[in-house]
Structure 1
Amino acid sequence: MIKNIKFILLFYTFLCSGTLFVNAQEIAVLKYNGGGDWYANPTALPNLIAFCNTNINTNIEATPANVAVNSTDLFLYPFLHMTGHGNIYFSDEDAQNLRNYLLSGGFLHIDDNYGMEPFLKKELKKVFPDKELIELPSTHPIFNQTYKFPNGLPKIHEHDGKRPQAFGIFHNGRLLLLFTYESDLGDGWESPGVHNDPEEVRIKALQMGANIIEYAFEN
C-alpha cells in the first residue's frame, strides 16, 4: 500500500512537470480477473497500431504491453485497451488503482467483444460509484478527428442486432473512459482472415480506432 502511494505521488510530480504522458505514445492491454478472456483478438491492436503509425503520424511501439489492473505499471501508459467476452472482476485494490490512473490523466477504451457488458457495468461501479456511463452523441469530437463518422460509432459485427453505442465516463469535462458496445471494433481490427470481414468494414473499424487513439493522445 505504501509503495502504491509513493508511486502515485511520484506520478503526480511527473505529470505536473510535463515529463510523463506528454510525449508518450504507448498502448497496453488491461489484464483483469474474473475469468474473462482479456487476451482476446491478439492481432487487433498490432494492426491498429500499424494503421495509426502510417495514417495519423503516431509513433507507437508495434507490440502492446500487457498490464494488470492492480499494477503501478498502469501509470506508464497513457492509453489502455480492454476487451473480452465474459466475466470481469475488480477487487477493491484493482478499482482504486484504475480510478487513480484515470483521474491522473490516463485513458481507458473498453470494447465489448460480446457478452462483457453486464459484468463490466457492475465492476465500473466499484471504480466510480458516483458516475454513470453517458452515451456520446454523434457530434462528439471523438467522431470528428482525422476520420469523420457523422452517424457515430460504426457497426462492425451483428451481435444482438442492436445499434452500436459509445458510452463515456467524464470527470471535470474530460472523457477518461470510453465503452464501445454492439460494434466490436476489435474484431474489425483483426487480420483479414480471422473474421473474413469485407475490407470496407475493416477500414471503418480501423479509422474509428485511430480516432479514439488520436483523441486520447490529444486530450
Structure 2
Amino acid sequence: MKKLFTLLFCFVFTVLQAQDIAVLKYSGGGDWYGNPTSLPNLIAFCNENIETSINKQPQTVEPRSTDIFTYPLVHMTGHGNVFFSEEDAQNLRKYLISGGFLHIDDNYGMRPYIEKELKKVFPNQELQELPADHPIFSSAYNFPEGLPKIHEHDGERPQAFGITYENRLILLFTFESDLGDGWENAEVHNDPQQVREKALKMGANIVKYAFEN
C-alpha cells in the first residue's frame, strides 16, 4: 500500500510540474494521427504569446501507458472509430482525477464513438455542455460567446462539452468547431488569418486552463 501511495504521489507531482502536451494514440481504427501540423503550431503560438515553454514537438502516448502521467494536457482527435479497453479506461480515469486534462477535438464524425467509450472511463457521468461564462473561455483570451466556429461541416453551432471532477474540469470535448483544422498550416485548409488566429487563441485558452487548474 505504501509503495502504491508513493507511486501515485510521484505521478500527481509529475503531472502538476510538467509543461508538455501529448497526442493520444487510441485503438479502434480512427485517425488519431490527423492534423499533423496543428499541435506544433499551437505550441509555437502558446510559447510566443502566453509565456509557456512547451517542447516544440508533441509526444505520442497510449491511454494505458503510465507515461501519460507525465503530461498535464493530452490532445485527442480524429474522424472515425475509437475503442478503449478496460485497461485504457481505468488508466485514463486515474490520469484525469489525479490532475491530468484531456482535450478531445472532433475532426468530424467522432462524437458517437467517443461518447460510447467515455462511458467506460466515467460510467456515472455524462458530458455536460459548458456555459459561455466558463473560465476556459477567458483564461488567456476572451470568447464571450463560448467556443468559436472554425469549420462548417454540418453547419451546426459549435459546442463545448466537459466532465468535471471535484469542481475541476478534467475533460473537454469540442464539437462542430474543429479547432485542430484552424491550428494547421495555413495552406492545408486555406482558412483566413482571422479564423486561424481565433482557433489558436481558443487553443491557448485550453492550454492555459489545463496547466493552471
State the TM-score bracket (shorter-chain normalisation). Answer: over 0.9
Q: Distance in 1 between matches of 2:54 and 2:4?
A: 24
What is the CA–CA distance in structure 1 between the aligned matches of 2:25 and 2:2, rounded to whole Å? Answer: 23
Residue in 1 aligned with 2:97? Answer: 103
1:108-161 residue CA offsets vs partner (Å, 9 max, x unmatched): 000000000000000000000011101000000000122000000000000111
- What is the percentage of aligned positions where both structures have the same residue? 67
* Matched positions, count: 213
SS in 2 for 1:83: strand
Matched, 1:166 2:160: yes
Across the aligned residues of Structure 1 and Structure 2, the Cα RMSD in angstroms comes to 1.6
User: Is 1:34 the equivalent of 2:62?
Assistant: no
2:8 counterpart (4, 8, 12): 12
**Gaps in structure 1 of 5+ consecutive residues:** none
Task: Tell me by how many angstroms 1:76 deviates.
Answer: 1.0
TM-score with structure 2 setting the length: 0.96
- Residue 86 in 1 paired to residue 94 in 2? no
Give the alignment of 1:130-169 within 5 angstroms: 130-169=124-163
TM-score of the two chains, using structure 1 as the length reference: 0.94
The 3 A distance-change label for structure 1 pair 48 and 11 is farther
- Asked whether the 8 Å contact 1:35–1:87 carries over to 2, the reply is yes
The answer for the alignment partner of 1:77 in structure 2 is 71
- Aligned partner letter, 2:197: I
Q: Distance in 2 between matches of 1:185 and 1:111?
A: 7
State the shift of 1:66 in Å: 0.3
What one-letter code is carried by the residue in structure 2 that aligns with 1:76?
T
Contact 2:11 2:70 in 1 (8 A): no
Q: CA deviation at 1:70?
A: 1.1
How far apart are the structure 2 equivalents of 1:162 and 1:97?
33
Deviations 1:156-176 (A, max 9, x none): 000111000000000111100
Q: AA paired with 1:12?
A: L
Change (3 A) 1:15 1:39: closer
Q: 1:114 to 1:51 in 2, by over 3 A?
A: same
Residue 215 (1) aligns with residue 209 (2): yes
Q: CA deviation at 1:59?
A: 0.2
Q: Is the 8 A contact 1:11 1:75 kept in 2?
A: no
